[in-house]
Amino acid sequence: MAQLITILNGPNLNLLGQRQPEIYGHDTLDDVANSCTAVAAQFGLRCELMQSNHEGALIDMIHTARQTSAGIIINPAAFTHTSIALLDALHTFEGPVLEVHISNVHKRESFRHSSYVSLRADGVIAGFGVQGYSLAMQRMGHILAPEG
């Protein structure tokens, strides 16, 4: 069975495609799931995309991923800058973690410039729109590729 990559999305990303399209674009999370599924298949992987507006639910998803997933791609959204609890949960996950941001957070308000999640992430992709998820999935495929 193909290895699973868990894709986690934080608060307000359920409104992707509707909320602030001038910043986040018009693609939806369904579009993200479809593109990530296609990229994952190229590497013999499968993916599951989840979203929650609640910090505790995201932590529970990370805890579940410890038993089910080879890697995590996470867009923590606003929790990026506030959640030590997410950081602590990610530290319990032994596989690769890639952090994704749709917008270039370093070009925005100063409070968005710091990330607790980056203290655990093996890589960060920001500013490429929803294509950042596909780029993260490609990177995950290379990280998890069998050596040989």
User: Mind telling me the catalytic residues?
Assistant: 24, 101
Helices (H), the chain: 21-24, 29-42, 55-68, 84-91, 131-144
Contacts 24+ apart (CB under 8 A), 87-95: 87/116, 87/117, 87/119, 87/120, 89/58, 89/59, 89/62, 89/63, 90/62, 90/117, 90/120, 90/121, 91/120, 92/62, 92/63, 92/66, 93/62, 93/65, 93/66, 93/69, 94/66, 95/69, 95/70, 95/71
What's the gap between Cα 133 and its chain centre?
A: 7
